[in-house]
Amino acid sequence: MLAWTIYISFAGALVLALMPKGKGGSGHSAALARGIALVVAVAGFAIAIAGFASGAGKGRVTIVDVPWVPMMGIHYMLAADGISRVLVLLTGLAAVAGVLFSWNIEHRTNEFFAFFLALIGGVYGVFLSFDLFLLFVFYEIAIVPKYFLIAIWGSTRREYAAMKLALYSFVGSAMVLIVLLAAYATSGSHSTALVDLARANLPVSFQMWAFPVAFVGFGILAGLWPFHTWAPTGHVAAPTAASMLLAGVVMKLGAYGCLRVAIGLFPHGLDPWGWSFWGIGSWRDVFALLAVIGIIYGALVALAQTDFKFVIGYSSVSHMGFVLLGLVTLTQVGVDGAVLQMFSHGVIAGLLFAIVGRIVYERTHTRQLAELEGMYLGRRLPFAAWAFVIAGVASMGLPGFSGFVAELQVLIGAWVARPWWTAASGVGIVIGVAYTWRAMQKAFFTDRLPRPDEHPKEGWPKFDPITWPEVTATCLLFAATLIVGIYPSVLLNSIEPAVKALLAGGMQ
Amino acid sequence: MNYANLFRVTLPETALDVAALLVLVVDLGFLRKAALQTRIMASVLIGLFGCGAAVFFMPFQADGGLSYPGSTDLMLSAGGYAAIAQVGILMLTVLTLFLLIGSDFTKHVGEFVAVVLMAATGGLLISAAQDLLVIFVGLELLSLGLYILTAFAKRSGKSAESAMKYYLFGGMSAAFLLFGFSYLYGLTGSTNLHRIMLGFYGPTVIGSAPLVYVALVMIAAGLGFKVAAVPFHLWAPDTYEGAPAPAAAFIASVSKVASFALLIGIGTAAMHVFDGAHGVVRVTALFTTETPARWMGFNGPWSTIIAIIAVASMVFGNLAALAQDSVRRLLAYSAIAHAGYILLAVAYFSRGNISANAILYYILTYGLTTIGAFGAVSVVERMHGSDRMDAFLGLYKRNGLLAGVLLVLFLSLAGIPPLVGFWAKFNLFAAVLEVNRGVTPFTLVAIAVAMSAVSLYYYLQVLKRVFVMAPAEDGLVKGNPLTMGVLALITVAVVVLGCLPGLMQSWMAGFYAGM
């Protein structure tokens, strides 16, 4: 059933791409395009929920398994385990919220939603593929729509940011392709199914180099420091819905690849080298160090930004550091936390980008914190202010929201593995509070008195009222982070057995 | 020589030549006074029937091909990889003829189509040739046709210039090739590929390794020119830019297919040597370390030479393409890069037909894609009189279909799944690693994959102008409906073959069934 999320997304994209363009005014065709996109996204979300509910308590369920390229042993194999189901759920949620927050796109509307749905379809595909080859195909399908979404509908330096993002992604996927070819040739099993490759007992010497190449290749998309630089520029330049998807699900593609492919297929790549340099004795230490640096570096840079959207962009790098750290702890609790953090960050970052990029920017037409400071948005846009307070608090990791449970588990897992990892990333959390607080205070709750020239004589001009799609999507994302924060077992019950199976020896 | 057998084996070539003569008769005789577009339609139709007849006659070729009198050694092979290449050449020829429709660069339509058909005949011959002389005659028949086609736009100075350049380079490289062939003959005493490969075990060859190197380098230079591999590529950008669109598409597709089929022929001959005197199957010195020498850890001199050319082509082609402003020159440099990828599989050639199939899969789908790309570029060009990047500004608004065609074809060239270009690449690199899993081939494949990541940049540069930037002028870009139909068909084929990659593999496997 879950496979239909992929098919309807691509079908929707195709319909929208072929839709005749409205002549002149085009208001009618734009409304139709929005409607189709919303129906497709909601249908995908509904299927994701149904699939999640019906999969409860089950392990891996194969959805489709047919030979695709028989001569090379490639199968069209879709399946879902607990991790896939959670991430598919996140994708559905992000798709619906993304369509709602792009309700005001008037320029080439049908093409926008066509690229949007093509991206969503690719993302669903990655999360559901259990053939390495198929996974790679979907992973690459997701690259091209990102480029066009940013280059056509973006803002600040959009062409530069779009090209940077596309090339970083493509270089990452080239590294993955090299590993894929090598694993295929080395295993000799004449199959690219993840299960078969995991069973193939690839030589340890092979895993030792394949693991870092695959981890970096996927990690580029997950914002792994120092390959993260596409993320802030890309997030800032992207239109709101695209930043929501980039931070919300596309970065998760990378993290998911790190878990499913790099750790799942090449577990011995994490073994100790047998020698150590300053306490770095395995690829695990190397990537944990990079993740911790990412956490602290992202947070510090976010603290220094003057552009509201850059604050959120760098905070994504910091939060994704927790995901990567959780993955390399290789402990049950740590990896659980990492997967939960993928979901949590997907929701919270999506919400933050929506508030900054859509609710605030579309009304104030500036993202400079210094200029926002003089606008008294706390009083003039109370909805935005309160939404940002809640999202910001969730992002800081306050108990009761999903981020708390996730980051706590990652930290516990890290403590079990190496205590100093926890100590260092704890600093990142403190800085996280600082930058969120600073942005919140500057953008919404400043008590600086306006200079005389700033205060308009005939009162403040009214902002456009908050529209229903914005309210609906905001409430949807709130609900998600609250439910998971208060009752995390709803996801953890699904994640835990899958992680356990994965850590216990690949995906047999 | 058995003339009945000769006739049977060369039936497809005969059909093409008859069609070529027929075109001349019809165009210069019956339709001399008719309108240009009518003459084009008539000539294209006759060409289409000629190619159709040739495909129809393929099954009538004698099994096993044409042998020398009193010997079992083949002069022309039939079936297998040669048949795949021949059918591919005929199909791509038809597609290039369709690009002629609606064009007006020449009034001599009949001659153009006739030369195309004769060049295709040369292509068919070299795909099947097993004898140095037949190879050389076939190559010259193909090449002479290409020089003429390049020069066909008589009103364009660029066309004449590029044809001259192409001709001079071509003449030089043919001389090199012939020089290399003469050494091979002198060393082994035969012009037959199989005999030559056997001869590599003889005492003459083993004692004269340097001469073998000279011969192989000369041959690599001659064939490197045909496939536009670095450093023999200098003609390609100018020819692609100056030649009329159908001629450029023909050079980029059919001529490449034929040349790679020839390389497959040499590889196959080298890998399947049956030594009757000793009753064993040997792998010749061309590919092994037995004799004459081991050099730099590669598998023998031929592999070494080809691998070096391959790396140079894919690195230089991709980097040079980054700086292009003319889309045709960009396609030329990308062609050089693609030739580099394919040459990797030539350098690491396998027994059986894994490598042969991977190379044919790549070159046939590449030919299909590149014909479509030239077709789309020529539509824009006819409107603007230029193939500069800026001519493509805002194309999505001015012709949505054409923009979609360019999107699919360029992404396929860049190797983005699920388009066919991606499968071709994967298939090819997997074939290389299947043959040899050593560090060297693996490094080469890694370079190729990294370079194809670079290529995305310049393909996106064109697509950026098509989709992202605003049009510089208003008004629609109109293409001939038939041309647009053909382009749409090619695009659909690229998508379908990409989504169902097994289709073409099983089609190709069918050709080996009878062998």
Of B449, B456, B457, the CB nearest to A177: B449
Please give the pLDDT value at position B188. 82
Q: Which residue of B has its CA nearest to A19?
A: B400
Mean of pLDDT values over A203-220: 89
Mean of pLDDT values over B317-342: 92
Q: Lowest mean pLDDT: which of A18-27, A58-67, B25-34?
A: A18-27
Please give the pLDDT value at position A455. 59
Closest by Cα among A469, A440, A468, A456 to A378 = A440
The pLDDT confidence band at residue A215, using thresholds 50, 70 and 90, is very high
CA dist., res. A36 & res. A41, Å (int): 9
The pLDDT confidence band at residue B465, using thresholds 50, 70 and 90, is confident
Angle ∠(B338,B340,B344) on CA atoms, nearest 5: 120
Q: For chain A, what are the domain ranges?
A: 3-452+462-503
Decide if pLDDT at B270 tops 80. no
**B449 to chain A, minimum CA–CA distance in Å?**
6
**B361 to chain A, minimum CA–CA distance in Å?**
13
The pLDDT confidence band at residue B296, using thresholds 50, 70 and 90, is very low
Q: Which residue of A has its CA nearest to B433?
A: A185
Please give the pLDDT value at position A22. 54
B430 and A184 within 8 Å at the Cβ level: the answer is yes
A163 and B457 within 8 Å at the Cβ level: the answer is yes
Angle ∠(A422,A424,A426) on CA atoms, nearest 5: 65
Q: Which residue is associated with the tokens 């073959």?
A: B497
The alpha helices in A102-239, defined as continuous H runs, are 109-128, 132-141, 143-153, 158-187, 194-199, 204-219, 230-237
CA dist., res. B276 & res. B400, Å (int): 62
Q: Does A21 touch chain B if contact means CB atoms closer than 8 Å?
A: yes
Please give the pLDDT value at position B288. 46
Mean of pLDDT values over B19-43: 88
Q: Tokens standing for A50?
A: 């149904």
A182 and B442 within 8 Å at the Cβ level: the answer is yes
Percentage with pLDDT > 90 across chain B: 39
**Chain B residues close to A137, C-beta within 8 Å:** 417-418, 422
B449 and A151 within 8 Å at the Cβ level: the answer is no
**A148 to chain B, minimum CA–CA distance in Å?**
7
Of A137, A148, A174, the CB nearest to B418: A137
Decide if pLDDT at A507 tops 60. no
Strands B74-76 and B273-275 come out as unpaired
Strands A74-80 and A272-277 come out as unpaired
Across chain B, what does the average pLDDT equal? 85
Q: Does A137 touch chain B if contact means CB atoms closer than 8 Å?
A: yes
Q: Which residue of B has its CA nearest to A74?
A: B502
pLDDT digits (tens, 9 = 90+) for A166-194: 889 888 999 999 898 888 888 877 788 88
ipTM confidence: 0.86
Mean of pLDDT values over B321-340: 92
pLDDT digits (tens, 9 = 90+) for B180-236: 999 888 888 888 888 887 777 666 666 667 787 888 889 889 999 999 998 888 899
CA dist., res. B116 & res. B100, Å (int): 11
Of B417, B423, B502, the CB nearest to A141: B417
Q: Which residue of A has its CA nearest to B446?
A: A178
Please give the pLDDT value at position B491. 93
A69 and B509 within 8 Å at the Cβ level: the answer is no
Sorted by sequence, the CB contacts under 8 Å of residue B507 that are 6+ apart come out as: none
DSSP codes joined into one string, B98-112: HHHTT--S-S-HHHH
Percentage with pLDDT > 70 across chain B: 91
DSSP codes joined into one string, A259-311: IIIIIHH-GGGGSEEEEEETTEEEHHHHHHHHHHHHHHHHHHHHHT-SBHHHH
Please give the pLDDT value at position A17. 81
Q: Does A177 touch chain B if contact means CB atoms closer than 8 Å?
A: yes
Q: Which residue of B has its CA nearest to A154?
A: B468
A178 and B446 within 8 Å at the Cβ level: the answer is yes
Decide if pLDDT at B299 tops 80. no
Decide if pLDDT at B403 tops 60. yes
DSSP letter, residue B190: -
With beta carbons less than 8 A apart as the criterion, state whether B446 and A178 touch: yes
Q: Which residue of B has its CA nearest to A22?
A: B397
Handedness of CA A312, A318, A322, A325 (dihedral sign): positive
- Write the CA distances from B306 to B116, B132, B218, B313, integer angstroms: 29, 19, 12, 10
Report CA dihedral (B335, B368, B127, B123) to the nearest 10 degrees: -80
Please give the pLDDT value at position B273. 64
User: Best mutation site among B322, B460, B505, B507 for testing chain A: the one with the most A CBs within 10 Å?
Assistant: B460
Q: Does A190 touch chain B if contact means CB atoms closer than 8 Å?
A: no
Most confident of A152-156, B224-228, B295-299, B399-403: B224-228
**B253 to chain A, minimum CA–CA distance in Å?**
26
Most confident of A86-100, A468-482, B284-298: A86-100
CA dist., res. B456 & res. B318, Å (int): 10
Decide if pLDDT at A56 tops 80. no
CA dist., res. A37 & res. A319, Å (int): 30
Q: Which residue of A has its CA nearest to B427?
A: A72
Q: Does A459 touch chain B if contact means CB atoms closer than 8 Å?
A: no
Q: Which residue is associated with the tokens 């394919």?
A: B342
Of B418, B467, B502, the CB nearest to A148: B467
Q: Which residue is associated with the tokens 């699904």?
A: A494
User: Best mutation site among A181, A192, A205, A216 for testing chain B: the one with the most B CBs within 10 Å?
Assistant: A181
Decide if pLDDT at B285 tops 50. no
Q: What are the backbone angles phi and psi of residue B67, rounded to the nearest 5°?
A: -110, 165
A137 and B468 within 8 Å at the Cβ level: the answer is no
Helix (H, G, I), strand (E, B) or coil at B471: coil
B417 and A137 within 8 Å at the Cβ level: the answer is yes
Q: Does A171 touch chain B if contact means CB atoms closer than 8 Å?
A: yes
Of A72, A144, A184, the CB nearest to B416: A144
**Chain A residues close to B466, C-beta within 8 Å:** none
**Chain A residues close to B450, C-beta within 8 Å:** 171, 174
User: Best mutation site among A66, A178, A180, A189 for testing chain B: the one with the most B CBs within 10 Å?
Assistant: A178
B303, burial (CB in 10 Å: exposed 0-12, middle 13-18, buried 19+): buried
**A171 to chain B, minimum CA–CA distance in Å?**
6
Please give the pLDDT value at position B290. 42
Most confident of A263-277, B55-69, B242-256: B242-256
B426 and A151 within 8 Å at the Cβ level: the answer is no
pLDDT digits (tens, 9 = 90+) for B116-141: 999 999 999 999 888 999 999 999 99
**A273 to chain B, minimum CA–CA distance in Å?**
21
Q: Does A64 touch chain B if contact means CB atoms closer than 8 Å?
A: no
Helix (H, G, I), strand (E, B) or coil at B275: strand
Please give the pLDDT value at position B291. 38
Decide if pLDDT at B287 tops 80. no
> Cα–chain-centroid distance for residue B315?
20
B468 and A159 within 8 Å at the Cβ level: the answer is yes
Decide if pLDDT at A50 tops 50. yes
Decide if pLDDT at A287 tops 80. yes
Quote the pTM value.
0.89
Most confident of A95-109, A204-218, B272-286, B499-513: A204-218
Please give the pLDDT value at position B201. 67
**Chain B residues close to A141, C-beta within 8 Å:** 416-418
Sorted by sequence, the CB contacts under 8 Å of residue A398 that are 6+ apart come out as: A404
Decide if pLDDT at B18 tops 90. yes
Q: Which residue of B has its CA nearest to A14?
A: B404
Percentage with pLDDT > 90 across chain A: 9
Q: Tokens standing for B368?
A: 């299909």
DSSP letter, residue A442: H
Q: Does A152 touch chain B if contact means CB atoms closer than 8 Å?
A: yes
Q: Tokens standing for A261?
A: 């492919």
Mean of pLDDT values over B153-179: 91
Q: Which residue of A has its CA nearest to B436?
A: A185
**Chain A residues close to B464, C-beta within 8 Å:** 151, 159, 163
Q: What are the backbone angles phi and psi of residue B282, rounded to the nearest 5°?
A: -120, 155
Q: Which residue has better confidence, B135 or A4?
A: B135
Decide if pLDDT at B73 tops 80. no
**A470 to chain B, minimum CA–CA distance in Å?**
27
With beta carbons less than 8 A apart as the criterion, state whether A111 and A102 touch: no
Please give the pLDDT value at position B208. 66
**Chain B residues close to A239, C-beta within 8 Å:** none
**Chain A residues close to B447, C-beta within 8 Å:** none
Q: Which residue of B has its CA nearest to A170?
A: B453
Please give the pLDDT value at position A268. 83
pLDDT digits (tens, 9 = 90+) for A377-414: 777 788 888 888 888 888 888 888 888 888 888 888 88
Q: Does A166 touch chain B if contact means CB atoms closer than 8 Å?
A: yes
Q: Does A143 touch chain B if contact means CB atoms closer than 8 Å?
A: yes
